[in-house]
Amino acid sequence: MEALDGNAIGGMLYHVFGGEMTMAQAKCGHCRARGPLAECEVYLGGPGVVVRCRGCHNVVMVLVEVREMTCVDLGGLSELELPARR
């Protein structure tokens, strides 16, 4: 399966977090690299969405939509800094 990037789930993230999230700064819990969610690797083909660190490929986020509910696992992230809302 080919990796996309965080832009592809901008709508889903907006829906979950209530705002624009592609510019949110994510810090990987494994390698500590930090960058915008837009630059993370995103895999869409499975039953859920898997977001990985582009540097070390650690899973930083998993999102699963079940009916109208979205379950979010942020266990692989050490920090998530929301972008300034304007």
Partner 1 sequence: MAGAAVLGGLTWRVATVTAVVDETPRVRSLELEVPGWPGHAAGQHVDVRLTAEDGYRAERAYSLASAPGEPPAITVERLEDGEVSPYLTEDVRPGDALAVRGPIGGYFVWRPDDGGPLFLAAGGSGVAPMRAILRYRRNSMSDVRARLLYSSRTLEDVIYRAELDREEVVHTLTRAQPPGWTGYARRVDADLLREVAWPAEDDPLAFVCGPTSFVESVAAGLVELGYATGRIKTERFGATGGP
What backbone torsions phi and psi does residue 9 show, to the nearest 5 degrees? -110, 20
**Interatomic CA distance for residues 18 and 38, integer angstroms:** 16
- Which CB, 14 or 31, lies closer to partner 1? 14
- Least distance (Å) from partner 1 to the CB of residue 44? 8
- Which CB, 51 or 75, lies closer to partner 1? 51
- Least distance (Å) from partner 1 to the CB of residue 78? 21
Alpha-carbon torsion angle 11, 12, 13, 15, nearest 10:
90
Binding positions for partner 1, rule: CB under 8 A: 2-8, 10-11, 14-15, 18-20, 22-23, 36-39, 44, 83, 85-86
**Interatomic CA distance for residues 40 and 26, integer angstroms:** 9
- Least distance (Å) from partner 1 to the CB of residue 71? 17
